[in-house]
Chain A
Amino acid sequence: MSVDDVLATKMIADPLHVADCCLVTDAAGALILSSTPCSPSAAVEPVRVAGWGQAHEHITATVSRDLASSVAGTSALHALRMSELALADVDLLQLYDALTSQVIILLEDIGFCGKGEGGEFVSSGILGPKGGLPMNTPGGALSYTHPGMFGIFTLIEAYRQLSNRYFGLERAIEGRRTALRHAIMGYAGGSHASVVLTKGAV
Chain B
Amino acid sequence: MSVHPGDMDEFLNGRSLLSRPFWAGCFEGMLRLQQCGRCQLNSFVPRLNCQHCGASELAWTEVDRTGSLLTFSTVFMAPPRFREFVPYTVGIANFGGAQLFGVVAGERPYCEGPVVFVSGRDAAQALGPIPVPFGFALA
Contact = CB atoms under 8 A, between A and B. Distances in A.
A16 B77 CA distance: 11
A139 to B, nearest CB: 23
B77 A61 contact: no
A64 B92 CA distance: 10
Contacts of A64: 92, 99
B71 interface: yes
Interface residues of B, number: 13
A14 interface: yes
Interface size class of A (residues with CB under 8 A): 10 to 19
Interface stretch (A5-13, A35-43, A90-98, A140-148): A5-13
Contacts of A87: none
Contacts, number: 36
Contact of A13 (B44, B45, B75, B101): B75
Contacts of A60: 45, 101
A63 interface: yes
Interface of B is mostly: strand
A62 B45 contact: yes
A10 B73 CA distance: 15
Interface of B: 44-45, 51, 71, 73-77, 92, 99-101
Interface of A: 10-16, 60-64, 67
20 contacts: A10-B76, A11-B76, A11-B77, A12-B76, A13-B73, A13-B74, A14-B73, A14-B74, A14-B76, A15-B73, A16-B73, A60-B45, A62-B44, A62-B92, A62-B99, A62-B100, A63-B51, A64-B99, A67-B71, A67-B92
